[in-house]
Amino acid sequence: MKNEMKDIDNISQKRIDEYCNQVCIKIDEPISIKNEIYEELNTNIKEEVRQLTNDGLNSESATNIVLRKYGTPQALVNDLAEMYKVKKILNKPLLYISIISGVLSILFLSVFYLWNYKIIPNQAHQYTNYLPNQENNVINGFNEKTKKAINIGVENNSSIQAAWVGYSNSAGEFNEKYDYVYPNKYNLSPTDYKPIDNFWLKSSYYGLSKSLTNSKVEVNAQLIQFELSRNVQLIGAILLVIYWTLFSYWAIINIKYRFGFNQRAITLILILNILGYYIFNKFLTKKIQKV
């Protein structure tokens, strides 16, 4: 510590100590807070003086320049009061709310895109594995083994609510009425199904067809899956706007205000946020929607 202070003479150190004492006397706070302010202020001033002395100025000139920059003790007390207001009233609530909004927005948007554009298509495609492969499993009606496989396909895929399965004697032939449905409580026609449509969820229809081995017969399936409604995406987007608005405001306050957080770090984080939004909007959402 003594080696760090070697460029500041005793007279300059006493002036700095006296200045810090005058500032703390004018502050109406408990002694513990005054001591913290004194230590931080004293360290900052001496560090700035040390930098100037390292640049070639003598201690007296460097101290004059730094103390002139800080202003009178009363002016600095006013600045410290503003700092306290910014730090205690604005900084923490803004930062905490923005972080919470950011985390929730990522959660809502990620779940929305992952579920609607990744899980639903994948589970629908995988359902073909539960459909029969041989003609003798369907021609005379679905046997118990085939029905069990169809049931398991619905139960094992969380997005599938119901499955209607039938067959046609030639590819492309459409049957309005199917031969088997699971769960069995539904009618054999999907048109009689009452779709889910609420604030969070809505039903979506997914048609499948599968050609049987060495046969012209084709198995057809109509799946009802539930997808997340656009309201989930909208909530995520609104939370994202809240996050960027509050965080940008918080960052601007601290970039402009000399007693704020590290300005370079804040500027870097702000730039990364803007870049992250561009990448998310330009590449990620489009890529997910293509899945």
99-109 pLDDT, tens digit per residue, is 899 899 989 99
What is the mean pLDDT of the segment spanning 39-67?
A: 89
**Lookup result for tokens 């503003």:** 82
Query: Does one domain contain both 203 and 167?
Result: yes
In sequence order, the 6+-apart residues with CB closer than 8 A to the CB of 186 are 162, 164, 192, 193
Is 124 a member of any domain?
A: no
Domain limits at 152?
A: 129-230
Is 52 a member of any domain?
A: yes
Is 186 a member of any domain?
A: yes
Is 79 a member of any domain?
A: no
pLDDT in tens, 114-172: 999 999 999 999 999 999 888 777 777 788 888 999 999 999 999 999 999 988 776 55
Query: Does one domain contain both 240 and 103?
Result: yes
Using alpha carbons, select from 258, 224, 244 the residue that is nearest to residue 87.
Answer: 258
Structural contact between residues 255 and 222, judged by C-beta atoms closer than 8 angstroms: no
Residue 95's pLDDT is what? 81
Please determine, for residue 2, whether its predicted confidence score (pLDDT) is greater than 60. Answer: no
Please determine, for residue 245, whether its predicted confidence score (pLDDT) is greater than 60. Answer: yes
pLDDT band at 251 (very low <50, low <70, confident <90, very high): confident
Residue 148's pLDDT is what? 93
Query: Does one domain contain both 214 and 256?
Result: no
Considering only 78-82, 143-147, 278-282, which range has the smallest mean pLDDT?
278-282
Query: Does one domain contain both 225 and 236?
Result: no
Structural contact between residues 153 and 190, judged by C-beta atoms closer than 8 angstroms: no
Number of domains comprising the chain = 3
Is 59 a member of any domain?
A: yes
Is 209 a member of any domain?
A: yes
